Amino acid sequence: MSIPVLNYSLSTQNQRVYSFEYLPNEEQPKCYTTDNLPAAIEMDQIIWAAYRQIFSEHQLLSSTRQPFLESQLRFNQITVKDFIKGLILSDAFRYLNYDVNNNYRFVEMCIQRILGREIYNHREKLAFAVIIGSQGLEAFIDLLINSEEYEDNFGDNMIPYQRRRIIAQRSKGEIPFNLKTPRLGKDFLYKQGMPQLLWAGPVHRFRPQEQSPKAGDPALFLSMVQDLDGVL
């Protein structure tokens, strides 16, 4: 018997705040969709947008390309939703993101890139981490891809994007997920040969000479008074 998704509370985030005004600017997301029968050059832009959404900026290499999935999408053999799922379940995505992180970290990254929002709280991370541990990676991805939240916002033919990066009365939006979220969590940095600060000696604090206590300053006798308190 499989474990159901644990309950978790929702927190207020940008995408859940009703917008009374919608002023287009350069920070508003551009929607890429196949609803309007895109031409070849437009399909190239849609595929490129999918890679940018799912992979981080520094992961956009030739090794992350999925030519077979691209061909299926171009010839309408799969939907955009199927293409997104294929990218996430690809060996390249698994190697670059899943194999080098714990389940909590991976859940956070997938929710950002598939549902286009931040996680609500640690309880949500825990709920989906349990699904990964008990049912596997593909079952977790299916839960996100086939969720009502994904369907309502992106459907079958739209590339996911970071929803509501800005709201009314804000001049700038939040940093895009694929720029602000590093690929590796702190727990896995040491495995990649990253420098670690290890210092077993005492830590000395620097005090400018003009701030050092002068002769007769009561601060010079503080340690003496503390020792007397222990004796008395």
Assess if residue 109 is contained within a domain: yes
Assess if residue 155 is contained within a domain: yes
Under the banding of pLDDT at 50, 70 and 90, the label for residue 179 is low
Percent of the chain with pLDDT over 70: 70
The residue that leads in pLDDT, 151 or 162, is 151
Q: What is the pLDDT of residues 70-114, one digit of tens each?
A: 999 999 999 999 999 999 999 999 988 898 888 999 999 999 999
Assess if residue 204 is contained within a domain: no
Distance, CA of 112 to CA of 144 (rounded, Å): 11
Assess if residue 1 is contained within a domain: no
Q: Is the pTM value of this prediction over 0.75? A: no
Assess if residue 4 is contained within a domain: no
Domains identified in the chain, total number? 1
The whole domain housing 176 covers 14-192
Tracing tokens 């000696």 back to the chain, one arrives at: 201
**Chain centre distance of CA 187:** 16
Q: Report the 10 Å Cβ neighbour count for 141.
A: 18
- Cα–Cα nearest to 106, from 83, 121, 128: 128
Assess if residue 153 is contained within a domain: yes
Assess if residue 3 is contained within a domain: no
Assess if residue 8 is contained within a domain: no
- CATH of residue 148: 1.10.3130.20
Q: Judge whether residue 189 has pLDDT over 60.
A: no
